[in-house]
Chain A
C-alpha cells in the first residue's frame, strides 16, 4: 500500500452492455414462457380455466393463497 498503484485514472472502465438485438429473442421466448408458468400457478382454473377442471387449481392451491393471488 506504500507505493502508488497505477490507479484507474483513465476514467471508469466501460460497463458491459448487452445489445438489445442480442437480448430480444431470449427476452421474448423466455418472457412468454415465464408468464405462462406464472399464469398456471397464479390464476388458472380460477377466473379462467385451461384445461377445465380443478386439478391444477387444487395442486397449487396453497402456493396461490400464500403468494397473494386471488384464489377463489
Chain B
C-alpha cells in the first residue's frame, strides 16, 4: 500500500461522491435555492414601486448582491445543472484526494487500527471538523440572505473558524493517541473528543456572530439549511464509505498475496 494506491482510490471515491452529491443537491437543495431566489426577485420590484422609503432596508437585507440581477453571464438553468455538477465533482475529487492522502499518512499510525478502520476514522473526523462544526457556527445561507458588503468579513470568519476546527481536530487526535498509549482506549477517545469540543466551543464563543437574515422567512431558511446539511453529509458519507471499502479491499488483497508467498516459501 503506497501513496499512489491511496490517491487513486481517493480520486475515484471523490468522483463518485461528487456525482451522488450533485444528484442529492439537485433534488433536495435546488427547490430551496429557487424558493429563496423567487423571494428575492419578488422583493426587488416591490421596493422599486414603493419609492424611497424602503429601498435602504431592502438594500441592507442583501437583495441586490445576487448574481441573478445585473451583469448576469450564466443563466439559472445552467447554474443549477452544469454549474452545480461542476462544483460538486470538483469538490468531490479534491476532497477525495486530500482525505485519501491523510488516510495514507495515518495508515498504521492510529493505534492498532486496520487500514479500513483508520481510513473510516479520518473520513468521520473530516466530516465533523471540516463540514459539520463550521456549519453549526456559520450555517449555509440561501441566495437573498447576506449583504454583499460583508462578504469579505464573512469569508474570513468562516475559513478562520474552519482552520481552528481542523487544527483542533488534528491536535486532539494526536493527543488522544498519546493518552491511549498511557491510559487506554477509553481515556484516549474521551480525552481527544473532549479536547476538540472544548476548543471549538470556546472558539465559537469568541468568533463574531453573523446574522444577516433580516425578515427572510424562517421556514424557507430552515429548509435550505437542512438541504445544505444533507448535501454535505452525502458528500462526506459517500466519500468515506467508498474509500473505506476500496482501502479495505486493497489491504485484503495484499494480505492474501503475502500469505500465499509465505506459504509458497515454506513449502
Contacts and interface: CB of A to CB of B under 8 A. Distances in A.
Interface of A: 12-13, 15-18, 20, 22-23, 26-27, 30-31, 33-35, 37-38, 40-43, 46-48, 54-55, 57-72
A63 to B, nearest CB: 2
B142 interface: yes
Categorize the interface residue count of chain B. Answer: 35 or more
Contact of A31 (B73, B98, B108): B98
B79 A59 contact: yes
B140 A16 contact: no
Nearest to A57: B67
B143 interface: yes
Interface in B94-117: 94-95, 97-98, 101, 104-105, 107-109, 112-115
B74 interface: yes
B146 A12 contact: no
B146 A70 contact: yes
17 contacts: A16-B115, A18-B6, A23-B105, A31-B98, A54-B67, A61-B67, A63-B25, A63-B91, A65-B141, A65-B143, A67-B140, A67-B235, A68-B140, A69-B140, A69-B158, A72-B146, A72-B148
A16 B94 CA distance: 25
Given A34-B95, A61-B74, A70-B141, 19 more contacts: A16-B115, A16-B254, A18-B3, A26-B7, A27-B101, A31-B98, A34-B94, A37-B91, A40-B90, A42-B91, A43-B159, A54-B73, A59-B83, A63-B91, A66-B140, A67-B235, A71-B146, A72-B143, A72-B148
Nearest to B4: A26
User: Which of A26, A40, A65, A69 has the most chain B CB atoms closer than 10 A to its own CB?
Assistant: A65
Interface of B: 1-4, 6-7, 25, 29-30, 33, 62, 65-67, 71-74, 78-80, 82-84, 86-88, 90-91, 93-95, 97-98, 101, 104-105, 107-109, 112-115, 131, 134-135, 138-143, 146, 148, 151-152, 154-156, 158-159, 227-229, 231-232, 235, 251, 254-255
A62 B232 contact: no
B91 A15 contact: no
A58 B83 contact: yes
Contacts of A43: 155, 159
B107 A66 contact: no
10 interchain residue pairs of minimum CB distance: A63-B87, A17-B108, A15-B108, A68-B140, A47-B155, A60-B87, A37-B94, A26-B3, A34-B94, A58-B74
B259 to A, nearest CB: 9
Contact of A70 (B67, B105, B113, B155): B155
Contacts of A67: 87, 91, 140, 228, 231-232, 235
B231 to A, nearest CB: 5
B72 to A, nearest CB: 7
Given A15-B107, A68-B140, A41 B101 contact: no
Contact of B101 (A15, A30, A65, A69): A30
A21 B49 CA distance: 66
A27 B105 contact: yes
Contacts of B3: 18, 22-23, 26-27
